[in-house]
Every structure is written in C-alpha cells, then in structure tokens.
Amino acid sequence: MARAHKKRHGSSGRRGGNQSSNSQMVDEGQSLISEIDRNAKRTEQQTRSFNTGERRFNLVVDSVPYMVSAKPFRFNGEVRYRVSVNGGFEHVFTWDSSLGQLRAIDDDASTLPDNVEEAISEKLQSKA
C-alpha cells in the first residue's frame, strides 16, 4: 500500500525529488494562500458594512461603572439580546410582559444585580 501511495505522488522512493515539481507545489500553495487572503478581506469588508444592530454603552449603577455590549438576535419570532457586562459571560435578555421590561433568562442570570438588569433593560428600550 505504501508503494502505491508513493507512485501516485510521482516519487520513486528516492530522496531529493523533482525540483520543478516542488517549485510548482510552492507556487500553487502561495496562490492558494493569496486567494484565501483576498476572500478573507472581502468577507471582513462585508461584515463591517453589515449592520448587526450591536450596541455598546456605559452605565453607572449605584456608583459602579459597567461596560455593556448587546447584540440582538431572533428566536421564535421575537427579538432577544445577548448581553455581556464588563466583557464577562453573555446573558440572554428577552421581554417579560409581566414585568414590562427586558430581563435576563439564562442560567447565570442570578449573578446579575437586579439594578443593573433594570438599567440595561431601560437602555435597550430607549432609542439613544
């Protein structure tokens, strides 16, 4: 099986190999890398121009500053938010009609202080 593998790749089992073949593989590899780079740049430009609706804002609650990042997404036809506070874990916020505000519903939501949760909800509901 090893011999068949070597024959498929044009090697006779000798060391050194064919110099022009190696050169061709390097050229093909470089053009593949160039193509990947061009595609990555295009994707990056498209991503930057696509409006994700992400919002970043600062809050001060009980004299404590918070940096908040919120990214909207749709789930079962309703808008929810992935909210990160001070670069920590993401919390999922959704509308709670009984409270009349957005609130965190993920497993770690209990770690988020109620006052901070309310301030984030108010900010996400505001246009500013």
99 domain residue, yes or no: yes
What pLDDT does residue 92 have?
A: 96
Instruction: Measure the N-to-C terminal CA separation of the chain; round to a whole number of Å.
Output: 68
Q: Above 80 in pLDDT, residue 91?
A: yes
89 domain residue, yes or no: yes
What pLDDT does residue 59 have?
A: 94
Q: How far apart are CA 57 and CA 119, in angstroms?
A: 11
Determine contact, residues 68/59, Cβ cutoff 8 Å: yes
Query: Are residues 73 and 119 located together in one domain of the fold?
Result: yes
What pLDDT does residue 123 have?
A: 94
Q: How far apart are CA 126 and CA 128, in angstroms?
A: 6
Q: How far apart are CA 104 and CA 70, in angstroms?
A: 12
Determine contact, residues 70/83, Cβ cutoff 8 Å: yes
The mean per-residue pLDDT over the stretch 26-38 comes to 54
Read off the pLDDT of residues 36-85 as tens digits, 9 standing for 90 and up.
Answer: 555 554 444 443 334 578 999 999 999 999 999 999 999 999 999 999 99
- For residue 64, give its domain range: 55-125
Query: Are residues 63 and 85 located together in one domain of the fold?
Result: yes
What pLDDT does residue 65 have?
A: 95
Q: How far apart are CA 35 and CA 31, in angstroms?
A: 6
Mean pLDDT of the chain: 75
Q: Between 102 and 14, whose confidence is greater?
A: 102
Which tokens in the block code for residue 37?
A: 């780079």
Q: Above 70 in pLDDT, residue 28?
A: no
43 domain residue, yes or no: yes
| 12 Cβ neighbours under 8 A, 6+ residues apart | 6
Q: Above 60 in pLDDT, residue 22?
A: no
